[in-house]
Copies of this chain bind each other. A is one copy, B any other.
Amino acid sequence: MSNQGQGCCGPLSEEPLAKEQAEEMALVFKALGDPVRLRLFSMIASGPSGEVCVCDLTPAFDLSQPTISHHLKLLRQAGLVDSERRGTWVYYRARPETADRMAALLASVSADRASA
């Protein structure tokens, strides 16, 4: 159910994204395309211990607990974060492979223009 693709596509200099690649990666961008989710992701990624408790995320927004939970689920399904329950609390951590894949795609835009 979650997005686990790792190897994907060459730089945009070589060729545009194929339909399936675009659909897959668009899911990740869409997950980051909501202000609340992007902030959640940034909070998770910047957690000093590498992980953040949901109990610290939820009160940081003027939104209901289920809404935050829903956003976290979408980030998980996009492959951007992982969650682990330890006792009462659930901890979220970033999945750098996914962020790296997207970063590489975006960075390859400049690579194009440099080689042109």
Contacts and interface: CB of A to CB of B under 8 A. Distances in A.
B113 A106 contact: no
Given A26-B32, A38-B22, A46 B110 contact: no
A6 to B, nearest CB: 14
A116 interface: yes
A75 B60 CA distance: 31
A30 interface: yes
Counting every copy of the chain, the complex holds 2
A72 interface: no
Interface residues of A, number: 45
A28 to B, nearest CB: 8
Given A12-B45, A113-B50, A99 B94 contact: no
Given A26-B38, A100-B106, A106-B103, A46 B94 contact: no
Contact of A29 (B13, B36, B38, B110): B38
A19 interface: yes
